[in-house]
Structure 1
Amino acid sequence: MKVVVTGGTGFLGRHVVWRLAARGHTVVFTGRNAGEAATVTALAGAGVDFVQVDHGAGAARAMLSDCCREADAVVHCAALSAPWGSRQAFERSNLTAVDELLAACRERGVARLVHISSPSIYFDYTDRLQVREDSPLPQPVNEYARTKRAAEERILAARLPHALILRPRAIFGPWDNALLPRLLRLIRLGRVPLLRGGRALIDLTYVDNVVDAVEASLALSVNPAGVAPVFNISNGEPVEIGELFARIATSFGLPLEAAPRPYVLADLAARVLEAGARLAPGWEPPFTRYSLATIAFSQTLDLSRAAALLGYRPRVGIDEGMRKTSAWWRASMGQHPT
């Protein structure tokens, strides 16, 4: 099978490239960073090619069309996932990219598309437990959530015969450059706030489990009529945020200093910082209302649809995933994150 992987230089994308290459598939992956692409290619072995694509640029659509020539499937991992940024940046990375890819699929007759979305579209500053894929969606809380939801709508409207959408929650693992590094910096700085008592239940997903779901999606032949091809993905091991910080600290051999903090005051501080950032384009606040709220409010996912239709069962537990991640960090970085 020939598979095109967008965002193959990113965290999840590179793991998808490596797994598919190991399975013997022909893989073409895209990204903007040629330096990172060299690392991905070196670890992937034969049968992998890189094409440098900048979504939203004039040549991107034609380049993606060339990538999709004789392709059997596309895995769309490319996205801007960030707590802060301009509306234009999110639209270019999360919407224009989808439009370019759908055009390429139509032109080359690629019917199978696996799109990586986000459970951020469920978030509404309240506790939400065992959220199902068909649960009512609130108004998006930020540009990331807005554009990820709009991207899903465009993919479903395109009516590709075999298009599936995965919503993996809080991915972590080797090469993670977002979630765990941010939490580790808090731990090392001794500034771990336990908002709302530190009792928020959080779902995480080890990266290999997400790749398992991608493989299962590529293999799915028929989706039952009347069931939207959208699937929640997580480890299915909800953990309180206070306990999560403790597990991370233990896995990385760090002391943990955590203390309860009033959520109302933290939220007010975030509002002030965001107001300042809007007046100073180019400056990113150290934390946002959304980033604080993700460790203050519970969000867990119902996995029954993925289990029933994809046969999804998380193979790597959170503790094992933490051990694997910390071992990789020590081997590759030689030190703890700063």
Structure 2
Amino acid sequence: PESIVPIRADLRDSRAVAEACRGQDAVFHAGALTGIWGKKKDFYQINVAGTRHVIDGCLEHGVRKLVFTSSPSVIFNQSDMEQVDETVPYPSYYLSDYPETKALAEQAVLAANGRQGLLTVTLRPHLIWGPGDPHLVPRILDRARKGQLVRVGEGVNRVDIIYIDNAVEGHIRAWQALEEGSPVAGRCYFLSDGEPVVLWDWINRILGSMGIPPATRSISYGTARRLGWILEWGYRIFGLPGEPRMTRFLAAQLATSHHFDINRARKDFNYEAVISPEEGMKRLLKSLQARPEG
């Protein structure tokens, strides 16, 4: 809808966040610190405290609806998760600060439902992709061009992805259905394209379209996990800049299957993908080929 206005603010600045909430009927909170590595304090201040600032801003200014962009990684337990639904509990521990702080943020949003008339919902889109993506595909292409892209595991793991238009569609439909007495209020939902892909086949198709050789070198999941542990230890002990090339969390994400049952979203707010994976891939490849740097 044309009435949706993007606003950028430092989530650590409670007054700036509150001001962004002023005069709004609904707030879509999509801001976060993402990544596999970083300072725990930064993840906490932005993802957890920042989300609490959004909640407080909504309450202060009488916002009716809060739609929070969460992540399926909040329930990831480092093993294959195939067609799991929203009843899967949070794990007892996390291998990365990102999913842990997103889980805390998600719980805060759900707990705020019903406070002072505020209605909340959290959405869990997995691997948002498409033209203009600043994270997923550019990182894959960069590593592949440098010869650093190595397949982890047997290369047959299936994962959910979601094209950007479908992620937007899910957010809009959830917002429209978020009303008093609606089953949407106070619940979380997985979102995806509805068709899991074989991760490494999907990656290699993108590489091939850019004239980059496929990722054929591989290491076992166990080896990648051990390497991740060693690198994490070294980066922490010696305070090395940047991020490790491998972490235990990244190894698990690259080697395991994780796709989700989206029937709750279909039932509660009529979610359906508006762009098929094949059409989305055509649009992505066209956009990449139009930019020589990929």
Q: 2:203 aligns with which of 211, 234, 245?
A: 245
Q: 2:107 aligns with which of 130, 133, 153?
A: 153
Task: Give the residue type in structure 2 aligned to 1:265.
Answer: T
Q: 1:317 aligns with which of 251, 276, 283?
A: 276
Task: Give the residue type in structure 2 aligned to 1:236.
Answer: G
RMSD over aligned Cα, in angstroms? 2.0
Q: Residue 312 of structure 1: SS of its match in structure 2?
A: coil
Equivalent residue, structure 2, for 1:216: 173
RCO greater where, 1 or 2, for CA within 8 Å and sep 6 or more? 2
Distance 2:276 2:188 in 1: 23
Q: CA deviation at 1:28?
A: 4.8
Equivalent residue, structure 1, for 2:125: 168
* Cα offsets for 1:186-222 (capped at 9, x unmatched): 3323444333211111111111100001111121144
Equivalent residue, structure 1, for 2:11: 55
Distance 2:206 2:121 in 1: 32
Distance 2:6 2:282 in 1: 31
Q: Residue 215 of structure 1: SS of its match in structure 2?
A: helix
Q: CA deviation at 1:275?
A: 0.7
Equivalent residue, structure 2, for 1:124: 77
Q: CA deviation at 1:62?
A: 1.9
Give TM-score, length-normalised by structure 2: 0.91
8 Å contact kept, 1:126–1:297: yes
Please state if 1:76 is matched with 2:34.
Answer: no
Q: Residue 283 of structure 2: SS of its match in structure 1?
A: helix
8 Å contact kept, 2:127–2:161: yes
Q: 1:199 to 1:105 in 2, by over 3 A?
A: same
Q: Mind listing any 5+ residue stretches in structure 1 that lack a counterpart?
A: 1-22, 31-52
Q: Residue 258 of structure 1: SS of its match in structure 2?
A: coil
Length, aligned pairs only: 288
Please state if 1:304 is matched with 2:260.
Answer: no
Q: Residue 184 of structure 1: SS of its match in structure 2?
A: helix
Task: Give the residue type in structure 2 aligned to 1:296.
Answer: A
8 Å contact kept, 2:224–2:246: no
Please state if 1:108 is matched with 2:61.
Answer: yes
Task: Give the residue type in structure 1 aligned to 2:3.
Answer: H
Q: 1:141 aligns with which of 68, 91, 95?
A: 95
Q: 1:189 to 1:286 in 2, by over 3 A?
A: same
Please state if 1:85 is matched with 2:38.
Answer: yes
Q: Residue 133 of structure 1: SS of its match in structure 2?
A: coil
Q: CA deviation at 1:88?
A: 0.3
Distance 1:180 1:136 in 2: 30
8 Å contact kept, 2:113–2:185: no
Q: CA deviation at 1:24?
A: 2.4
Q: Mind listing any 5+ residue stretches in structure 2 that lack a counterpart?
A: none
Please state if 1:229 is matched with 2:217.
Answer: no
Distance 2:218 2:246 in 1: 17
| 1:14-53 correspondence to structure 2 within 5 Å | 23-25=1-3, 27-30=5-8, 53=9
Give TM-score, length-normalised by structure 1: 0.80
Distance 1:296 1:132 in 2: 20
Distance 1:111 1:77 in 2: 17
Equivalent residue, structure 2, for 1:275: 233
Q: CA deviation at 1:180?
A: 1.2
Task: Give the residue type in structure 2 aligned to 1:335.
Answer: P
Moved more, 105-114 or 249-258: 249-258
Task: Give the residue type in structure 1 aligned to 2:66.
Answer: L
Alignment identity in percent?
Answer: 31
8 Å contact kept, 1:80–1:94: yes
Distance 2:198 2:110 in 1: 34
Task: Give the residue type in structure 1 aligned to 2:15.
Answer: A
Task: Give the residue type in structure 1 aligned to 2:137.
Answer: L
Q: 1:214 to 1:225 in 2, by over 3 A?
A: closer
8 Å contact kept, 2:184–2:268: no
Distance 2:126 2:6 in 1: 26
Task: Give the residue type in structure 1 aligned to 2:83.
Answer: Q
8 Å contact kept, 1:213–1:233: yes
Distance 2:196 2:147 in 1: 24
Distance 1:102 1:261 in 2: 44
Q: Residue 255 of structure 2: SS of its match in structure 1?
A: coil
Distance 1:227 1:27 in 2: 23
Please state if 1:286 is matched with 2:245.
Answer: yes
